[in-house]
Structure 1
Amino acid sequence: MASIDRHNQEMLKNAEAWQQKPALRAIYQTFHRAIAAHLAPISQPTVELGSGVADIQRVIPGCIRTDIFPNPWIDRVENAYALSFAADSLANLILFDVFHHLRYPGTALQEFWRVLAPGGRVILFEPCVSLLGLLVYGVLHPEPLALNQAIEWQAPPAWQANQLDYYAAQGNASRIFLRAHLKFDLQGFHLIKTQRYAAISYVASGGYSKPQLYPNDWMPLMAAIDRLCNHVPWILATRLLVVLEKPV
């Protein structure tokens, strides 16, 4: 199994692209606004798990930024399987491109249930497997889609939360939340929202690792293309928003 240090190596590379690409920063603000629109309206704190380098606090002030490695822009170090927060103490947990790195998503959801207050939400923002998504994530992205790989929903009994390794399966959110014939125990959470986005502007930006295919002053045009392409999500969606809620 690959070392968990790979996550931190990728994050440090991403920090360079984040500073060099104003279009990437603008696109992330659009994504973060989509997330902010679905926050639970309760008074407890909002926490982002696996924050990476993107600054969600520009859109969600006071959001606690966490990751498994300390870095100057991270507020605290957290492990998604063993959070340091008290039971029923949080309003929202945000996972942006983190869910597909959870080898045991059901086990993580159990921990999320523990720390969220009644009415609290888990908000996921993930790769989406459409026809275009198959190309973008299956051919142009180094992480595997793992569409035919079994999802290990629960950790084995002897497993410990500190036994982290590098895991990636970009297709997991689409398989779990968009395919009705695949049934997973959501550990008591209600699935209240799935929303697919084309995000062509992000794909053509090259993300963190590839060249940008349009000039920065084309951003309004790219936003218009995104809105148009959102009408055919089964073909062009590359991003998936998922909202889970802990019942009151």
Structure 2
Amino acid sequence: MLADFLREPLLDKIDVDSTDRMTAHEEILNRKPMIREVFSEIHRLMWTLSRQYLDGSGQDIEIGAGVYPIKRSYPSVLATDVVPSASIDRVMDAQAMDVPDGSVRTIFGQHCFHHLPQPEKFFHELQRVLVPGGGAVLVEPYWSPVASVLYKRLFASEGFDKTEQNWNSSASGAMSDANQALSYVVFKRDRQRYDRMFPSLPVVHQAPLGNYLRYLLSGGLNFRQLIPDGLAPLVKGIEAGLSPVNRWIALHHVLVIRKAKD
């Protein structure tokens, strides 16, 4: 299969749920300036949106921070993950956060929401830990026609099922058995159900991201890079030209959830 050929050789025979995956991802990241630039752009976007849509005083925390946490761009953000590594500050489960009630201004999450086995527990935790006016900024796989085709074919350890009726998953580890279409299921297909269950956590912003070509051509953290880094500026210009059709071809989207003030 094409996906097998493109897969990053360093990840061969590595358990994706182990700390070995974090070590391998760190090595891959260090030799890929293009994906580091993409991640840094996402950091800036998430931070900007948190300042635009959220308010109140409290701690900024990233869940599922992985090997390139947002604190690399904004050092005040506490980096947490369920898998220990040198990149994070604390091991913490986003479904049972070890922080006081009403103490958090922003929860950031990059590509981690779909790995939560019981997302309703996460939403209940948002209600508990966030200050009024605070919220969550999440970047997740998008549901464009292009994304819907690619995600079903690229990831052996994760699925992309828009028809899955259950929000919960039987995920056996931090990375495996996730449904990458979870944000579509919860925030698009089942939006009325979400709004009914969590009226104090409205979604106040949602938009596709525009750096999908560089993300794809860089190989991310799991696949081989397909073009030299010197072509990144050219690809970035192409992305800008394609922005009017992002809704049809984007691979990721960002959404902001804000806790009601009363």
Cα distance in 1 for residues equivalent to 2:191 and 2:96? 30
Is 2:150 the partner of 1:136?
yes
Secondary structure of 1:6's partner?
Answer: coil
State how 1:165-184 maps to structure 2 within 5 Å. 166-179=176-189, 183-184=193-194
Distance 1:213-1:182 versus aligned 2 partners, 3 A rule: farther
Q: Which amino acid aligns with 2:49?
A: H
Counterpart position of 2:43: 32
Cα distance in 1 for residues equivalent to 2:90 and 2:260? 28
Distance 1:48-1:181 versus aligned 2 partners, 3 A rule: closer
Counterpart position of 2:96: 82
Secondary structure of 1:94's partner?
Answer: strand
* Among 156, 162, 167, the residue aligned to 1:147: 162
Counterpart position of 1:208: 221
Cα distance in 2 for residues equivalent to 1:9 and 1:152? 29
Across the two proteins, how many residue pairs are aligned to each other?
A: 238
Is 2:31 the partner of 1:20?
yes
Deviations 1:45-101 (A, max 9, x none): 100001000131232221000011222221011111111100000100011111000
CA contact (8 A) 1:175 1:182 kept: no
Counterpart position of 1:98: 112
Cα distance in 1 for residues equivalent to 2:214 and 2:198? 32
Cα distance in 1 for residues equivalent to 2:93 and 2:82? 6
Cα distance in 2 for residues equivalent to 1:153 and 1:104? 5
Distance 1:56-1:204 versus aligned 2 partners, 3 A rule: same
Distance 1:107-1:56 versus aligned 2 partners, 3 A rule: same
Bigger fraction of residues in helix: 2
Counterpart position of 1:233: 246
Following superposition, the deviation at residue 126 of structure 1 comes to 0.4
Cα distance in 2 for residues equivalent to 1:153 and 1:139? 22
Distance 1:14-1:187 versus aligned 2 partners, 3 A rule: farther
CA contact (8 A) 2:95 2:119 kept: no
Secondary structure of 1:183's partner?
Answer: helix
Distance 1:7-1:243 versus aligned 2 partners, 3 A rule: farther
State how 1:33-52 maps to structure 2 within 5 Å. 33-39=44-50, 40-52=54-66
Counterpart position of 2:17: 6
Cα distance in 2 for residues equivalent to 1:5 and 1:195? 29
Distance 1:153-1:74 versus aligned 2 partners, 3 A rule: same
Root-mean-square deviation over aligned CA pairs: 2.3
Following superposition, the deviation at residue 154 of structure 1 comes to 10
CA contact (8 A) 1:99 1:105 kept: yes
Secondary structure of 1:226's partner?
Answer: helix
Q: For structure 2, which runs of at least 5 residues remain unmatched after alignment?
A: 1-14
Following superposition, the deviation at residue 134 of structure 1 comes to 1.6
